[in-house]
């Protein structure tokens, strides 16, 4: 049936969208994802060194309980009308890039630049004339290494692993969940039986990621305007290289090693609010990211997580594995990659940076002086 084929295309596009990372989608994964680098990848991720490509047909459309007509258009890029005769004396008004959380960590002659990323965004976040602030561009140009959460080469290979560890041949999600939670999943996906059919074959951690991804799509975000993709577009150093701070297997294991109870907690938190409330949260996260204060961003997320937690104990366990264990791994590896007079530029999910157990504080404990960039 044509309708079924159309629904499958929506799901395939959503899977590609979800692949942009575990660090910043699904708020924990929007770290996480976002993240989003929220999920991992459920389809071939066209995420090459030049950035990500949109799925055929343009921006992915939402699944779930909203129709495509409910999707707000991304904020339009401001007009480039020449206002030199009006508001300025120097020429056309220039669109300013997002501030973003950006920090410089130094220890002696060793420098680590840190940028907090969002794995999705709007075109207006990255003006074509200047997609990043000048200090960020200067730091990127000075760095022979750009370190992301996962290397682009590994991300291209992610589909098989996600299918292997996140999907089941049987309708296993029903077996993982109590009947009351399954009813909530059905209600959330009302109006999209094809998406619900796919969710039936997922484990709870992946179902959580996909449901959050559907909500993020409704906010009009696009993966091609994720920070990592945009960074790679401007990282033109001839001898520069792009590396990952963790392997694909390590990132997937973050979720596959969660107990069934911990996975259910993730999903329960995603279902605790309506789709519209989740969309509002994603937009607020985006707003705070644009302002660029990593500690304020983390404080907001901590307060939100505390409110949504169904079990404080399980929620803390999930946070420890999904966020804090990875923070320690990131710091260990970025320090190992750094060297005197050879700066390294690190770009990871924004929610990894701030807070008492964030990357910035962990670097301070290793003797680095960390200042806002």
Whether pLDDT at 352 is above 90: yes
Q: Mean per-residue pLDDT for 205-211? A: 92
Q: What token pair was written down for 349?
A: 């999910």
Whether pLDDT at 233 is above 50: yes
Q: Mean per-residue pLDDT for 157-163? A: 76
Q: Is residue 144 part of a domain?
A: yes
Q: Is residue 82 part of a domain?
A: no
The CA dihedral of 54, 57, 60, 66, to the nearest 10 degrees, is: 170
Q: Residue 294: in which H helix or E strand, if any?
A: helix 294-308
Q: pLDDT grade, residue 216 (50/70/90)? A: confident
Higher pLDDT, 155 or 79: 155
Q: pLDDT grade, residue 35 (50/70/90)? A: very low
Beta-strand runs (E) in 258-343 = none
Q: What token pair was written down for 371?
A: 């200042």
Asked if residues 16 and 193 have their Cβ atoms less than 8 Å apart, the reply is: no
Q: Determine the Cα–Cα distance for residues 288 and 277; give it in Å rounded to an integer.
A: 17
Q: Residue 4: in which H helix or E strand, if any?
A: helix 2-18
Q: Determine the Cα–Cα distance for residues 268 and 236; give it in Å rounded to an integer.
A: 43
pLDDT digits (tens, 9 = 90+) for 234-276: 886 656 799 999 998 898 899 999 999 999 999 999 999 999 9
Which pLDDT score is estimated for 27?
A: 52
Q: Is residue 64 part of a domain?
A: no
Q: Find the largest Cα–Cα distance for the chain.
A: 67
Percent of the chain at pLDDT exceeding 90: 59
Phi-psi region of 58 (alpha: psi -120 to 50; beta: other; left: phi over 0): left
Q: Mean per-residue pLDDT for 173-189? A: 96
Angle between helices 204-218 and 275-291 (to 10 degrees): 70
Which pLDDT score is estimated for 94?
A: 62
Q: Is residue 57 part of a domain?
A: no
Phi-psi region of 299 (alpha: psi -120 to 50; beta: other; left: phi over 0): alpha
Higher pLDDT, 120 or 75: 120
pLDDT digits (tens, 9 = 90+) for 295-314: 999 999 999 999 999 999 99
Q: What does 176-231 look like in DSSP terms, one character per residue?
A: HS-HHHHHHHHHHTTT-HHHHHHHTTB-HHHHHHHHHHHHHHHTT-BGGGSHHHHH
Q: Is residue 83 part of a domain?
A: no
Q: Is residue 171 part of a domain?
A: yes
Q: Is residue 68 part of a domain?
A: no
Number of domains in the chain: 1
Q: pLDDT grade, residue 123 (50/70/90)? A: very high
Whether pLDDT at 76 is above 60: no
Which pLDDT score is estimated for 93?
A: 53
Q: pLDDT grade, residue 63 (50/70/90)? A: very low
Which pLDDT score is estimated for 239?
A: 64
Q: Determine the Cα–Cα distance for residues 361 and 331; give it in Å rounded to an integer.
A: 10
Q: Determine the Cα–Cα distance for residues 209 and 165; give it in Å rounded to an integer.
A: 14
Q: Is residue 95 part of a domain?
A: no
Q: Which domain holds residue 295?
A: 2-47+100-372
Whether pLDDT at 73 is above 90: no
């Amino acid at each position: 049936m044509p309708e079924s084929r159309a629904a499958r295309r929506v799901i395939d596009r959503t899977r590609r969208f979800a692949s942009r990372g575990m660090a910043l989608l699904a708020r924990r994964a929007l770290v996480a994802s976002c993240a989003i680098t929220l999920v991992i990848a459920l389809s071939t991720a066209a995420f090459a060194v030049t950035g990500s490509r949109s799925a055929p047909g343009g921006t992915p459309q939402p699944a779930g309980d909203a129709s495509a007509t409910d999707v707000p258009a991304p904020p339009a890029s401001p007009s480039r009308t020449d206002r030199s005769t009006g508001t300025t004396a120097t020429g056309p008004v220039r669109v300013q890039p997002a501030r973003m959380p950006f920090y410089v960590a130094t220890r002696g002659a060793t420098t680590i630049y840190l940028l907090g990323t969002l794995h999705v965004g709007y075109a207006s976040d990255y003006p074509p004339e200047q997609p990043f602030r000048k200090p960020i561009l200067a730091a990127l140009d000075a760095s022979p290494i750009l370190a992301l959460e996962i290397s682009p080469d590994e991300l291209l290979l992610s589909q098989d692993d996600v299918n292997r560890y996140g999907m089941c041949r049987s309708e296993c999600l029903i077996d993982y969940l109590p009947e009351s939670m399954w009813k909530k999943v059905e209600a959330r996906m009302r109006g999209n039986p094809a998406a619900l059919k796919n969710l039936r074959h997922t484990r709870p951690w992946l179902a959580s990621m996909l449901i959050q991804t559907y909500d993020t799509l409704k906010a009009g975000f696009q993966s091609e305007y994720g920070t990592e993709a945009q960074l790679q577009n401007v990282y033109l150093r001839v001898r520069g290289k792009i590396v990952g701070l963790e392997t694909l297997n390590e990132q997937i294991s973050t979720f596959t090693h969660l107990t069934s109870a911990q996975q259910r907690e993730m999903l329960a938190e995603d279902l605790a609010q309506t789709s519209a409330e989740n969309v509002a949260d994603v937009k607020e996260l985006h707003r705070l990211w644009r302002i660029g204060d990593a500690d304020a961003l983390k404080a907001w997320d901590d307060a939100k997580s505390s409110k949504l937690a169904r079990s404080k104990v399980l929620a803390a366990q999930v946070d420890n594995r999904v966020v804090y264990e990875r923070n320690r791994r990131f710091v260990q590896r970025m320090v190992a990659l750094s060297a005197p007079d050879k700066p390294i530029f690190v770009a990871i999910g924004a929610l990894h940076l701030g807070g008492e157990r964030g990357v910035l504080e962990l670097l301070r404990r290793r003797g680095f002086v960390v200042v806002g960039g």
